[in-house]
Structure formats: C-alpha cells, structure tokens
Structure 1
Amino acid sequence: MQQIKDTFVSDPEAAQYIFSDTQIQSLHHAWHCLDTKRFVILSGLSGTGKTALLRHYARLYCKLVGVDPEKHSAVVAVSPDWRDPSGLLGYLNALHADPTFQAEPGLRIVLGAARNPELPYFLILDEMNMARVERYFAPFLSAMEIKGPIVLHSNEDNVNDVPPSITWPRNLFIGGTVNMDETTHPFSDKVLDRAFTFEFWDVDLQGYFERQPAEHRNTAVEKLLIQLQEQLKPIRRHFGYRVAGEILAFVRDCTDGGSVTTDAGNRLLDQAIFSKILPRLRGEESPALITALKGIGDICRDHSFDQCVQKIESMRQQLVATGITRFWS
C-alpha cells in the first residue's frame, strides 16, 4: 500500500491528478480484501478522475510487480448497444466453414489472467452503465460469486486458441466507472452486492490549479471558476477537473497569453462559461436552485458576461413559468 501511495506522488503523469490518500487506500483494500472477488465501481461527478484513478493504479501496480501495463490492463468503453457479453468477450462466428472466434479487447485480459494466475490483470470498464450491466456482464457476475467457469463458446475444442470456458481467475481486477443521469441505467442489487462502490463528488479546484505548469495558469479565470463552483455545489451541478482544465485551455488558446480583461478576452471568457458550465444547469424548482441561478447570474453580471446573463435569465423565467428549467430548452 505504501509503495502505491508513494508512486502516485512521484509519478509525473499520476501527480497531475488530485487523489486523496483515502481514495487510493480504499481502492487498494477493496481490490485485495476478497481473494476471488476483485470488483469496484466508481461513481459520481463527471470529470473528477474516476477512470484516471483506475488506469493509473493499474499502470503503477503493474510496474511495481515488473509486468508490462500494456499487456496486463485494458480500458474498455461500454457501448449503449451491448445486450449480451459479445461486446466485451467476443463471439463465435459459425458462418465460416471452419468456425472462428471474433475476440474483443476484454477477452485478451480475461484469457491472460486465466493463463497466468500468478500475475495481475486489470479490466477497466469506462461508463459501465451506458448499457444494462446485468445483461452484458452476466457471466462475470455469476462466475465471481460461485467461483465457477466463464463460458466463452459452445464448441468442444478451442477456436482460435479460445477455450470453451475458463475457470474464474482470482488475479483479475475489475473496475467500472459510472455516471448517473438520464443517459445511463441504474444498477440492480445483484451487481451492487458483488462490488465495492465509491462516490467521487469532492473537487479541489485550488489544488488542481496549483499543480498546473506556471505558463498554463490564469489567476483571474481560476478565481472566477472557484466562485462559480461554490454556487453550483449546493445543487450538485458543480464541475470537475476536466471542465476547469478545458476552460483554461480555451481562454489560453484564444487570447494567446493575453489578458482576459480586454473586451475581446472578456467575450471569449463569456463564451467559455456559456459553453462548458451553463449546460450543466437543470432541475425542478427549489430554494437551492433559485439561489444558485441568482448567484451565478450575479457573478456573470459583475463580469459583464452578457451571453451568460441572458441565458440564466431565460432559465429563471422558465423555472417560474413551468416549475422546471434546463439549459437545452
């Protein structure tokens, strides 16, 4: 555990992210406390580094034990059209004269873990609940619980070196990231009972800004983003490190290092806030949402962000008229 923590601090790539000791320790112990069930789910705010934490942990862990991270880990993006395990594990193509097996990236990790039980393998499922987990992940859910086999195809013999089934590999570390919104699916107890679930909602913008190279920093914009963040927190519509970094990159590129206090720079910053932060605003009428809209509107008005002010005012009027508001109306 101490080696992992130290490596997260010393590794240049991992050090760019804000991960607390508690987050790293919780992930480590959740992946190691059960000898045959190494399954975690990271949920919460988009852009807080959930996938990055899993990816960097896997990379650094592999380096510590002396194996190639490229061969022992895979990040698989879950597709909304997955209705069975074929998108994750592949499928048998019986249309050829000689049957072939169409393998998918997830299968490489699973087979590697089965063939090398003394070495670690990491399977990271990005946006895990874009499809119904109970459908495409069913073989894993069953095998990890009863320590039974994962069935890959129905042929008696291997097909393209893919066996009919494999014994559940105890050295397979599985991590999934999820966001809960109108585009995703909820989890059943069947899934949650098998996983350790962690939430990522806290965002340390000041700490994030302090880790950036000096030439990338803009204290005026950083202060503004922190002010907006404070208004959004009470309604849980605040933003993560990704949004903050992209706004800074947008302003830096547009102004070519110049000041945002000029009329042209101010209009660009107005556009950046409009494009990256305001679309997050939505919800039913409540004191917290009313207060948040007023607070954000006041900040934008103080900075003469005319485009943002107009949009927030239209959203406020929509809230009064219908009891619900959203950016996309």
Structure 2
Amino acid sequence: MNFQEYCNTVDEGQKVVVEEAVVLTYANSTNQEFSIPPEAIRLFLIFILDEYNAVYEKWEATPTRKAMFFQYEEKSYREIYKSVNKNDLGIIHSAGGSQTSSLTKLISKIISFLAGLDYVPPEENTYLTKDNIGTALSNWNNFFKLEENNLVSRRKYSSIQSRFHGWMLQKGLSERTAYSYSATGIKFSDKYVGEIGIGESSLYELSSEGVINALNLLKSVPGWQEADIAGNSMYSAACKKLAEYFSSNESKNIVLSKPFLLLAGLSGTGKTRFVREQAKASGQLNETYCLTSVRPDWHEPSDILGYISRLSSHGQAEYITTDVLQFIAKAWRGIADKGLTIEVQDCHRQGKRLVVTGDSTVLNDVLPYWLCLDEMNLAPVEQYFADYLSVLETREWLWEEDTFIYFSDALLKPATINAVADTGKLRADLGFESSGYDELWQLICGYGLAIPFNLMVAGTVNMDETTHGFSRKVIDRALSVDFGAFFPNSYDDFLSDPPAIEHKTLSYPIWSNARNSVVLLDATADVKGIKSIAFLTAVNTVLKNTPFELAFRALNELLLAVISSQPQDELTLKAVWDDFMMCKVLPRIEGDSDKLATATGENVLAELNKVLAEQLSPIWNADKDSDQANQRPDLYREQSGAENALETDKVLRIACRSKGKLEWMTQRLDSATFTSFWP
C-alpha cells in the first residue's frame, strides 16, 4: 500500500492527492485545496526532534491545550507551527497558522502511515512523539523515494563533460587537449576535492568562481600540486579552462521558462531591435528571424496561420500559407537538420503525437528561431492568436536523465492538410520539398504541424488609444516584460562602443512541468522549490477571492523560473521572485478601488506591498547606491568586460523592480482612481 492508497482508506472527509516528490495537495473542511512539498514536512519533523523541549514549552504555555502533547487543539498547535523559522520553513509557518487543523491531519496521516500505526483523528493522537517521528523519518525514503542532491549531480556529470569538451573544440583546442582537460584533468582533481572542504564531490558541480576558488585550495594539497608540476600544469590549466567555460556559458545564455514574450513599453525604446539582436546572436540572422507586422483587421487565426481557399483556377482546395506558418516550418527544419529523431509515439493518455527525442548535448546546436509580431496588439490578440495560445499549453518536455522527449498538439491539423487537393504544393510552400524531408513530411501529413520546441514568439506592444488591451488568458500564457524596467535606455551610453551594459542571450525553454523535476534539486538556494512555494503562497493569500487569484499554472511557472535560473544564493533567488512578480503577477492587476479590494476590504496593492516587503527582504529596501551589497543581480543584463572575465566580475546590481512598479501603480490609482500594470 502506498501513501495515496492509505489516505483513500481513511474515511474522515479530507481529500489528499499525492504528486510524488514535488507536492502534496490537501483540503480543509470547506474543500479549499492547498499544496505543500513532502520535503517541507520532513524538515518540520526533523525540527520537532531537534527542538523538542523548546516546542513543548510553547505548547505547554497555551491555556487551552489538551492534557497530552500528542492531542490536537487548535491554539496550542498553532503555537507549534509558529515556532519554526519563517525563513527556513515559511510554508509550514504560514499553513500552520491559517490551516492548522487540515495541515495537522495531513502530518498525522504521514506519521501513522510511515510508523505502521492505525490512523485515528488528531484530537485523539497526532503521533507527534519522538519515537513515532523517528520511525517515520527512518522510513521516509522507502515510501516517498526522494532523491538526494549528489545522485542528480552524478547524472549530470557526463552531460556537462560532453558540453565542456565540445566547447573547447569550438575554441580551437585539439581533440587530444580537449579530452585531456574534460576527462583526465577534471577527474584527477575530483579525487582531491574532499580534502579542500568545498562541500561538493566534483568541480563540475561548481560555478566559474567556485572552480577558481577550488583551484587555489588544490594548490595547497601536496599530492595534487606535485602531480600538476610534473604534468606541466595540465591539471591547473584544465581547471582554468573549466572556469572560463562556466563563465561564458552561464553568464551569457538564459533559458527562459516560457517561449512567448510580450515586450511592452514606449515607442522607440528598441523592442523590435531587441528581438532582432537576439536572433543575430546565433550568427544566422536570415535563417532564425522573422518580422511580421500585425494588421488592425486581423480577427481570426487564419490571418496568422493561413486557410483553405477554393478560389484557384481549378476550383480545388488550396492552402494559402503565411510567412508565420512558413517560419514555423523552417524552425522544424532547423530541428531535423541537427539529426534529432522525429517520430510518432503514443504519449500516454494523449494519444499518438509527433515527438522529438534526443540527447541534451544536441540542444546546444539547435538554434532558437525568433518570430517577432510587431505591434502585436493593433488587433485583438485573443482572436487572431487564439489557436496558438491554446496549443502553446500542450507543449510537454519529458526527461529521463540526459535524454528528452518533446511534443505538442498540432497547429495545422492533419485533417486540414489532407483536405488540400495538391499537398505537393503545400509541401513546397512550407519548404519541405527536398527529398531529405520525405519522412518528416509524411509524419506531418499524418499527425499535423505542431509547435517546434525552438520557436520563440515575441510580441512588441505599445499601449495607446490605437491598441487593444490583454486579457488574463493572454497574460497567463506569456512573460510580460516591461521593457523600460528590464532594458532601460541610457542616453549616456548611446555613443559608447562597446556598451557598458550588455544584454544576455535568451533561449527556448527545455522544461514544461516542474512536477517530479529532479532539476529543482540543483537550485542550491531553494532545493526542491520549498521557499518558492512558500513565497507564492504568501502572495496568493492577498489575492484570494479577488479576480487576480493565482492557480496551479502560476506555481508551475514560478518553479520553472527557479529551474531555469538555478539560483545559488538568496539574492539571486529573490531576483527570480522579483522578476516573476513583474512578468506574471502584477500584469494581471488592473481596475478601480472597488475591483482592487481584497476579501477583508483592504487594497490589493497595499497588501502586496506589505507581503513583498517581508518576502523580498533585503532586496526590497536596497534601492540606494550605499546598499549595493543587498541589491539583487540583474538576470538579463551584465556589465561588459573581457571575454574570459569571471561571472562575479560582470554581475549588474539593480534595485528591486516590483517595488518600483507597485509604487507607480499605487500613485496612478491615487491620482486617477484607476490603475494597471501597463503604462
């Protein structure tokens, strides 16, 4: 019997849904659902054991408590949950304060299940005794199968080593040198990392700065130093080259959490040029860039994806393509040309789909294809872009160690393709006429033309009397970027060459669902996403029962942002949260004072200001030059400098973005009695 089955046999009204290794969903007495990672509960139980006497004293000081510690009473148990550190276990602190009864029921079930005891209501026994907790923790891994950090790291070694090897070949190093550095050199140094106390088992687990620090420590280890001298500094050279690789790779390329961006801002700030420069970074601008000007008369998907016409000279059905559809087909050819396997698979309950499979190392060679929809909101986006928005949510990445599977629903349905009289003409119009694409074209005819994983769509947006606004359906499916806040213009830098600040290169997502993602384990500042879940829970508490309340999609995308950024320290983690507020939460908020009222009658903006001031501390108040130590890093820009400069030399420190935007929205509400995210 697993834990899900155990909960199903306990007939006392609480719904529990187990989603292994990421979240547990549990309901309160009104069937309102909440989520919590199993790891948070495990850490809470460890806390109880470590601080048992202190926790017991807090419980004992509550006048309404029951006779025994393991018997539930709301106020006394609320004190237990309040005793945990908010920074380490904020989600327990928050849920235990507001959903004391339902959280206690869930924890009681977990302990009784893992300790092999018959479940009884918490009022009789919560099982919070040292013996029961100790037994439950000793059996934890057997039932929840949570993986440890070092296991995931070992899985990644071969992939990182392969990419490091390929990068050196591109830099002009010989095959012999590239192999000696990536394999022999790093492997030899890894034998000594345990002696220098860096807390990791391989140099491949470190950042560029971490490798340099490790190298300095290795120089004091006699065995390593002697071997390095005897080998003409081969091992130190390998470490330096690995640091250079990490620096160039990590500081320049940003894997986004969504492949659809809304770039909003004043006219003339460089939004369209920004998209062009992103495509130009690939070195194949003509191949990977398409600019399409949106027309005000676009009102249906055929305006962007094409349609069947029977107005040909023969009266036969002919598909009229568009430059957008042709560019989507070009992105598919970009995938096929890199040798990735494109085939049909039965994708579980979703039926047969056209899927792409391959090794993670090949993704470095698959370029992003940038489609720029200029002046995107001159026409109603919800109308002409409806099909794309719907199919966008069907994209799915599945990972098994370093091998991936990608698929999505079709934009151009097979029934539509087969309704065309001359599929040969359609094939030529879409660029698949070469015999090398015979098999791919047959698969497309049978299963449709889906969204390719390397397609990036960026819509440039101006908000004025000639344009349309965005519904939450559009905002929820995009990364809304206030261009002036993320990429501000500086007149002082207009003539500087090279510019003092450079934009990082953006790339397509390679994850679609954070559930069961072992990649979360690598985010050192937020292992398993526990802190991020607590952060979003606090934010959503303010938004409850308002039109702006967040759902599971928001949680998934916040965790995807953590996965994409891999924050290694608290300031970077909070920078991820700050940008998430700017891209996904604040763009949803608009209206007058009545619409912006919370369930308690307070103003949403004022309440968010209170929550974020706590959750985003210390970056919330680090808006002065004198407090640069607590300023957050800019995840999308960096200081320009030498090509082989360390990442820490290039980090650009900035003030908290969401704080400034909240202040602007509040001032607008006060002066105009209406506010929105958009300028």
Report the TM-score, using the length of structure 2 for normalisation.
Answer: 0.25
Q: Which has the larger radius of gyration?
A: 2
Report the TM-score, using the length of structure 1 for normalisation.
Answer: 0.50
